[in-house]
Amino acid sequence: MTAESLRDAYGNTLVELGKAHDDLVVLDADLSSSTRTSVFGKAFPDRFFNMGISEQSMVTTAAGLALSGKKVFASTFAVFLTRTYEQLRQSVCYNNLDVKFVVTHAGLTVGEDGATHQIVEDVGIMSGLPNMHVVVPGDSIETASVIHYLFEKTKTPFYVRLSREKFEVVNDRGYEFRLGKGVTLKDGSDITILAYGAMINFSLKAADILKAKGIDARVINMSSIKPIDRDLVIKAARETGRVVTAEEHSIYNGLGSRVAEIISESYPVPLRRVGMKDNFGKSGKAWELFDYFHMTADDIAKASEECFRVEKYENIP
Amino acid sequence: MDYSNVDLKKIANKIRHDIIEMVYGANSGHPGGSLSITDILTVLYFKEMNIDPEEPDDPGRDRLVMSKGHASPGLYATLAERGFFPTSLLSGFRKLSSKLEGHVHRGVPGVETSTGSLGQGLGIGVGMALAGKLDRRDYHVYVILGDGEIEEGNVWESMMAGSKYKLSHLIAILDRNRVQLDGFTDDIMPMGNIRAKAESFGWNVIEINGHNYDEIVSAIERAKSSTGGPTFIIANTVKGKGVSYMENTAKYHGSPPASREEYEKAISELDMELIQ
């Protein structure tokens, strides 16, 4: 497998869309060379607005542009967008506007920059906003497909979370993103691992580890966090009887919490959640940090095995 | 439209009546900062703005963003009097069966954006003016700010953006009534020399009496003819203007007349204003 940049896929897709659509405008807050919106800015300087280190201004200006008929993409680092929670809430989500926030450098994979920049709460924060949708692409192919989908098929606010790091490509070149649909990357009958973003690759490796132990794991890409593929989660619980979630995010208010809600309401089975646990990150090399915070393939495999030690659920086949 | 100052005064008086009826009927709401901007709203909606209640979505229309969204009674009453919706609906203000939300709500005909949490409207105005520039349209964008509101950092971020992009079609109007919820603005958070601040952020600044129709009209005309960048109109106003006991006090920032007697006093004072 090869690793490819999700950010590059984002910037290049913006340029592609910009060529065909005059109504696309892009905003950034002094991080355009990192978020890759600079590529769009270079191609279409009249439709690119660098708002400076003023995220509140970026978000409210984005709202004004959308209210005037523009299709707006706005980017910064994930951690900095969260300071505009209330602008997102009132000016964008309450007005239900066509603004796509594509943020980068989310989660632990920002590495050396450390805890101040490693936001692991954003998926929860954004998912709580009415009208907001939340998507976390798992590789460069999915990123490009998500951006196309959002531009061409939606008119409501979206939060798209990207990492700084390159991710190994897990999807086929012809892959097409569908909102609210999980994608089964590997079938299996004994347990289901639900993951998104950086944790997809770890989850596939965990499935290999489990296979060697005679456990047949299903792995599903849950890139559409809100809306979530509720039916697929329940199907997985019913068919495999055990569920593990894996996310480069806090287990609180992220995929883990959402899945816990769904299966406890609809089909209770043993569940383990791999992710950050109400703590801040730490400076270090991106991939070392997964080790440090117990979020590697081994940790997912271990959590999966724990599910087999639970015996009291009626729903275990 | 060709309204005389006497006509404008009559319309403003009607709007002030509506404001009192609305907050008294809802037993809540913000009369003080609605009464202070009534004359400005009257000039904008009845004389200066290019708007048509029959075509509220016309892409070429002028836009107004009520950034101080608690002044909803003032805006709703003005829109109703201008014909965007029947004045009979004003009595639904703040009630469950009505679209007239406590703070300015986009579902109401003529309202361009929801507001309420302060400091966000100027950025929205920046976005609207940028879009107008991109689309080569000639519309103007008016943003009404409170003087307590400009304590929000978002306002000054957007001041920088308006200046950077030379948005000559963006006109901010500051309702300088010197009173905010907790007291006088100079006590709560002194803003110093607002004129100098706005000028140093790169805006044209015009200072007027916000209750004098000639001054309001001439300031807006000057702002419209500006080509160099955005204009910031400091409108010196009186909080609670038109109802003696509501003037220059924080008490009626967010409270309706406290009793039937107070309500009747407000109405009779407004009635008297027209006779004089």
Which residues does chain A have within 8 Å of residue B62's beta carbon, measured at their own beta carbons?
A: none
Model confidence over A106-115: pLDDT tens digits?
999 999 999 9
Could you say which of B59, B132, B161 has the minimum Cβ distance to residue A61? B161
Instruction: Tell whether A157 and A190 lie within a shared domain.
Output: no
Q: For residue A64, is it within any domain?
A: yes
Which residues does chain B have within 8 Å of residue A59's beta carbon, measured at their own beta carbons?
A: 123
DSSP state of B29: S
Q: For residue A173, is it within any domain?
A: no
- Please report the pLDDT score of residue B161 as a whole number: 98
Q: Which two tokens stand for residue A237?
A: 């619980």
Q: For residue A135, is it within any domain?
A: yes
| Torsion A141-A144-A148-A150 (CA) sign | positive
Structural domain for B92, as ranges: 5-275
The confidence band for A310, taking pLDDT boundaries of 50, 70 and 90, is confident
- The CATH number of residue A59's host domain is 3.40.50.970
DSSP state of A91: I
Instruction: Tell whether A137 and A50 lie within a shared domain.
Output: yes
Instruction: Tell whether A125 and A202 lie within a shared domain.
Output: no
Q: Which two tokens stand for residue A36?
A: 């890759």
- The CATH number of residue B20's host domain is 3.40.50.970
Q: Among A60, A88, A131, which would you mutate to test the B interface (most chain B Cβ atoms within 10 Å of its Cβ)?
A: A60
If we measure between CA atoms, which residue out of A132, A125, A127, A186 comes closest to residue A154? A132
The answer to whether B31 and B76 have CB atoms below 8 angstroms apart is: no
Q: Taking CB atoms and an 8 Å limit, are B127 and A61 in contact across chains?
A: yes
| Count of CB atoms situated within 10 Å of the CB of B214 | 11
* Alpha-carbon span A196 to A149, nearest angstrom: 18
Counting the structural domains of chain B, the total is: 1
The answer to whether A192 and A270 have CB atoms below 8 angstroms apart is: no
Which residues does chain A have within 8 Å of residue B122's beta carbon, measured at their own beta carbons?
A: 60
* Alpha-carbon span B206 to B173, nearest angstrom: 9
* Alpha-carbon span A28 to A103, nearest angstrom: 10
Instruction: Tell whether A32 and A110 lie within a shared domain.
Output: yes
Residue A119 has pLDDT above 90, yes or no: yes
Question: What is the rounded end-to-end Cα distance, in angstroms, of chain B?
Answer: 25
The answer to whether B66 and B104 have CB atoms below 8 angstroms apart is: yes
If we measure between CA atoms, which residue out of A116, A114, A87, A113 comes closest to residue A99? A87
Q: Taking CB atoms and an 8 Å limit, are A66 and B154 in contact across chains?
A: no
Burial B68-96 (b: 16+ CB within 10 A, else e): bbbbbbbbbbbbbbbebbebeebebbbee
Counting the structural domains of chain A, the total is: 2
Q: Taking CB atoms and an 8 Å limit, are B113 and A46 in contact across chains?
A: no
Instruction: Tell whether A135 and A58 lie within a shared domain.
Output: yes
Contacts of A202 (CB under 8 A, 6+ apart): A195, A246, A290, A295, A296, A297, A300
SS3 A145: helix
Instruction: Tell whether A14 and A121 lie within a shared domain.
Output: yes
If we measure between CA atoms, which residue out of A202, A283, A193, A285 comes closest to residue A244? A193
Model confidence over B149-171: pLDDT tens digits?
999 999 999 999 999 999 999 99
* Alpha-carbon span B247 to B242, nearest angstrom: 7
Which residues does chain B have within 8 Å of residue A57's beta carbon, measured at their own beta carbons?
A: 123, 126, 154, 157-158, 160-161
Residue B29 dihedral angles phi and psi, to the nearest 5°: 115, 180
Which residues does chain A have within 8 Å of residue B110's beta carbon, measured at their own beta carbons?
A: none
Q: For residue A162, is it within any domain?
A: yes
If we measure between CA atoms, which residue out of A161, A167, A238, A227 comes closest to residue A203? A167
Which regions in chain B score pLDDT beneath 70?
1, 276
The answer to whether B122 and B171 have CB atoms below 8 angstroms apart is: no
Q: Taking CB atoms and an 8 Å limit, are A57 and B158 in contact across chains?
A: yes
Nearest residue of A to residue B62, measured between CA atoms? A68
Instruction: Tell whether A198 and A134 lie within a shared domain.
Output: no
Residue A317 has pLDDT above 70, yes or no: no
Instruction: Tell whether A161 and A14 lie within a shared domain.
Output: yes
Looking at A138-294, which runs of residues are DSSP E strands? 158-161, 166-168, 183-186, 191-195, 217-221, 224-226, 243-250, 271-276
- Please report the pLDDT score of residue A267 as a whole number: 95
Structural domain for A275, as ranges: 183-307
Label residue A246 exposed, middle or buried (CB < 10 Å: 0-12, 13-18, 19+).
Answer: buried
Residue A315 has pLDDT above 70, yes or no: no
Which residues does chain A have within 8 Å of residue B130's beta carbon, measured at their own beta carbons?
A: 25, 49, 61, 64-65
Instruction: Tell whether A128 and A243 lie within a shared domain.
Output: no
Contacts of A201 (CB under 8 A, 6+ apart): A1, A167, A168, A170
Q: For residue A189, is it within any domain?
A: yes
- The CATH number of residue A243's host domain is 3.40.50.920
- Please report the pLDDT score of residue B262 as a whole number: 98
Model confidence over A32-53: pLDDT tens digits?
999 999 999 999 999 999 999 9
Range scoring the smallest mean pLDDT among A6-10, A163-167, A287-291, B1-5: B1-5
What's the mean pLDDT in A156-178? Answer: 96
Could you say which of B115, B123, B132 has the minimum Cβ distance to residue A61? B123
The confidence band for A316, taking pLDDT boundaries of 50, 70 and 90, is low
Instruction: Tell whether A142 and A17 lie within a shared domain.
Output: yes
- Please report the pLDDT score of residue A80 as a whole number: 98
Cβ-Cβ contacts under 8 Å between A and B: the total is 102
Q: Which two tokens stand for residue A145?
A: 């497909």
Residue A312 has pLDDT above 90, yes or no: no
Instruction: Tell whether A256 and A282 lie within a shared domain.
Output: yes
Contacts of B93 (CB under 8 A, 6+ apart): B22, B23, B25, B26, B29, B72, B73, B76, B100, B102
